[in-house]
């Protein structure tokens, strides 16, 4: 007989579990787009949003195999663990700089606490935990869990006491963050359990309480912990929720699953965007945000001043248009003049030209007609004088739009074309498929059994996940340390940020996360092809089938994979063709370009911009 109360609770639990990611994404989106400078100062800006939302969804099959344990393998999910924990860790450098020192002290304390707790709960500790449990009237397992809670709290308080006397400005913040993370660790451990064949679970609504409560506590104590910078309670809560849950659930509970059933891959954060690790960070962020909103603590940027990235001329031009529509004609004129100036400066960077001798004359030295220089001067003059005439504002905006187009023509020869980028990507994908095929073929040849045994085998699947991860990291690390992948280097292309410097680690990660669906598609197709070629005529699946049929099957898989690549690639190529700076989706997220390599001795030459037959009328001064 169905229990109505239990059924209702199950339905509510499912709805809440599915609703929390959407609410979390809406919160992060609101911060990143409505309060962009405030969000960036917390380490939760637009790039982090792209990484934690579409990036996490795209990385569903990206798993880092860490180590074999018993007859199982432990892995780490990019979507459910790596991305949220990385964002949380990087945010420490904003509210407790410098990052390297603060993170080192923080993780040392958490490592000591986690290691001692883990040793208590491992089976080898039962020899002395058993007598201890009988003394206090508890079973060995319950006694071990009680000891974990007591010892974890004791170690947390002891290490916090050792940190507290330090004179560094960040010491109080680190002590608070350490204690908050430890509280989440203990509460998550106490409320979670490991079920063989299922994983680590927490009952509803308990799993909401530790992270959300930690966020509320961080917000309420922010005035004491972060005086005059209370907004830092948001990233602190995000850190404590994510890392505390990782240690309390995955680190301390997962060992109970190893060897308990059929061999498998136990993945930390394996449930992706509905995993405890992923959700807990956002729940804690939501609690701190609620307190921040109720107390009206403001949205001014916090911490050390953020470096100013060169703005996009096209985006600045759109902003100028919006100002004009809203009635701010003077603001629109100034924005239009700035957009034209930024476009000229960008053209100089792309052409390898020296900086302009004067900010007021950004076109000097560029191969443009005289009317371009005159229009910029007139636009600057009108912007300085200001105006309330909408017609004047529209003329100024139209002039700026034309100047931006002229600058775009000057810089266009430097941008990589869609054909060059597609060719470079084809080389890289061939490299990925070849390397993955070689590894998977070696495993398939060494594995006994039939095709179905191979495809379900632990070693083959572990290698498949590893290939997807290795291919993704190849793109990220090659662009971070070498400016481009092998395909790009062969095509004399390179990845650059808006200031024409190498992309940061976060930018490289965000830029390439959009490639993960294609990479996953290629690696899965390669795995199936290798399996059929090696095992196709052995055993049950294809017994008696000729080699020719096996080859035709592989050909069909190859056609399917190529079709998938073309489908995903068409989106990128369309973006390259339609955007002002020839950026694909990943470039738009990360703020990067792909350009032709510039030789210092032979800068690229572009044809001088020719004036239109009827140039737009410049604004009167």
The Cβ-side half-sphere exposure at 272, using a 13 Å CA radius, reads 13
In the prediction, which pLDDT does 242 show? Answer: 96
Give me the domains of the chain, ranges plus CATH numbers: 4-294 (no CATH), 313-413 (1.20.120), 415-596 (no CATH)
Q: Report the pLDDT value the prediction gives residue 133, as an integer from 0 to 100.
A: 57
SS3 content of the chain, % helix, strand, coil (to 5): 70, 5, 25
The Cα 21–Cα 279 span in angstroms is: 7
Q: Please name every residue paired with 45 in a beta bridge, in sequence order, or none if there are none.
A: none
User: According to the 3-state scheme, what is the secondary structure of 2-29?
Assistant: CCHHHHHHHHHHHHHHHHHHHHHHHHHH
C-alpha closest to that of 229 among 109, 97, 102: 97
Tokens of 445: 């040849």
Rounded CA-CA distance 334/380 in Å is 8
| CB neighbourhood size of 568 (10 A) | 18
* 43 conformational bin, left if phi > 0, alpha if psi -120 to 50, beta if neither: left
Beta bridge partners of 76: 64, 268
Rounded Cα distance, 619 and 455, in Å:
70
One-character DSSP codes across 176-217: HHHHHHHHHHHHHHHHEEEETTTEEEE-TTGGGHHHHHHHHH
Residue with tokens 């990943």: 586
For 593, phi and psi rounded to 5 degrees?
-125, 160
What pLDDT, in 10s, does the model give residues 268-284?
A: 998 888 888 999 999 99
> For residue 268, what is the enclosing H or E element?
strand 265-268
Instruction: Write out pLDDT tens, residues 571-584.
Output: 888 888 888 778 89
Question: Can you tell me which residue has the tokens 């190498």?
Answer: 502
pLDDT for residue 135? 60
Chain segment 93-107, per-residue pLDDT in tens: 999 988 888 888 889
The two beta strands, 493-497 and 265-268, are unpaired
Task: With a cut of 50, list the residues of the chain below it in pLDDT.
Answer: 124, 539-546, 602-621
Tokens 């095709």 label which residue? 451
Tell me: cis bond preceding 98? Omega within 30 of 0 counts: yes
Contact by Cβ (8 Å): 401, 317:
yes
Per-residue b or e along 476-506, where b marks 16 or more CB atoms closer than 10 Å to that residue's CB: bebbbeebbbebbbebebbbbbbebebbeeb
- Two tokens at 156? 């947390």
Which residues, 6+ apart, have CB-to-CB distance to 595 below 8 Å?
A: 350, 414, 415, 416, 493, 494, 496
Give the SS3 label for residue 439: helix
CA-to-CA separations, 546 to 2, 541, 549, 555, 560, in angstroms, rounded: 54, 12, 5, 14, 22
Place of tokens 């900010």: 359
């Amino acid at each position: 007989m169905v229990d109505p109360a239990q059924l209702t609770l199950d339905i509510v639990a499912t709805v809440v579990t599915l609703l929390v990611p959407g609410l979390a994404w809406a919160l992060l989106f609101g911060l990143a787009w409505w309060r962009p400078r405030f969000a960036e100062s917390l380490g939760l800006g637009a790039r982090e949003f792209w990484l934690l939302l579409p990036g996490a969804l795209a990385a569903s099959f990206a798993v880092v195999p860490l180590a074999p344990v018993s007859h199982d393998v432990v892995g780490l999910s990019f979507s459910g663990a790596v991305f949220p924990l990385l964002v949380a860790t990087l945010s420490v450098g904003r509210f407790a700089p410098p990052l390297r020192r603060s993170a080192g002290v923080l993780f040392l304390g958490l490592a000591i606490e986690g290691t001692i707790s883990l040793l208590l709960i491992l089976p080898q500790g039962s020899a002395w935990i058993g007598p201890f449990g009988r003394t206090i009237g508890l079973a060995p397992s319950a006694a071990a869990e009680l000891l974990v809670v007591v010892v974890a709290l004791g170690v947390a308080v002891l290490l916090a006491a050792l940190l507290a006397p330090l004179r560094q400005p960040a010491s109080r913040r680190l002590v608070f963050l350490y204690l908050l993370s430890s509280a989440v660790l203990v509460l998550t451990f106490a409320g979670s359990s490991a079920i063989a064949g299922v994983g680590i679970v927490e009952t509803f609504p308990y799993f909401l309480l530790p992270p959300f409560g930690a966020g509320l506590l961080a917000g309420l104590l922010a005035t004491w912990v972060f005086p005059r910078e209370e907004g830092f309670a948001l990233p602190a809560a995000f850190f404590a929720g994510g890392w505390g849950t990782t240690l309390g659930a995955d680190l301390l509970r997962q060992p109970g699953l190893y060897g308990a059933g059929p061999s498998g891959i136990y993945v930390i954060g394996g449930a992706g965007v509905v995993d405890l690790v992923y959700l807990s960070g956002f729940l804690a962020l939501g609690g701190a945000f609620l307190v921040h909103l109720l107390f009206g603590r403001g949205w001014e940027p916090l911490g050390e001043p953020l470096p100013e990235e060169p703005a996009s001329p096209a985006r600045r031009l759109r902003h100028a248009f919006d100002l004009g529509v809203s009635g701010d004609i003077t603001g629109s004129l100034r924005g239009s003049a700035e957009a034209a100036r930024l476009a000229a400066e960008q053209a100089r960077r792309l052409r390898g030209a020296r900086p302009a001798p004067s900010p007021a004359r950004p076109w000097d030295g560029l191969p443009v007609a005289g009317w371009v220089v005159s229009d910029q001067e007139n636009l600057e003059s009108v912007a300085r004088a200001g105006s309330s005439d909408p017609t004047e504002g529209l003329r100024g905006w139209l002039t700026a739009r034309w100047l931006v187009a002229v600058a775009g023509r000057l810089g266009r020869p430097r941008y990589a074309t869609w054909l060059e980028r597609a060719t470079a990507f084809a080389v890289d994908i061939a490299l990925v498929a070849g390397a993955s095929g070689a590894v998977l073929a070696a495993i398939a040849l060494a594995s006994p059994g039939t095709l179905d045994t191979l495809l379900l085998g632990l070693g083959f699947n572990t290698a498949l996940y590893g290939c997807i991860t290795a291919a993704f990291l190849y793109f990220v690390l090659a662009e971070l340390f070498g400016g481009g992948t092998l395909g790009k280097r062969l095509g004399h292309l390179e990845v650059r940020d808006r200031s024409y410097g190498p992309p940061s680690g976060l930018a490289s990660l965000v830029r390439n996360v959009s490639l993960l669906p294609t990479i996953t598609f290629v690696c899965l197709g390669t795995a199936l092809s290798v399996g059929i070629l090696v095992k196709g005529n052995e055993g049950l699946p294809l017994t008696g089938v000729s080699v020719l049929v096996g080859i035709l099957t592989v050909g069909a898989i190859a056609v399917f994979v190529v079709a998938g690549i073309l489908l995903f690639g068409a989106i990128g190529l369309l973006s390259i063709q339609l955007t002002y700076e020839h950026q694909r989706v990943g470039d738009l997220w990360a703020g990067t370009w792909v350009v032709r390599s510039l030789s210092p001795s032979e800068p690229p030459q572009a044809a001088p911009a020719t004036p239109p037959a009827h140039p737009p009328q410049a604004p009167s001064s």
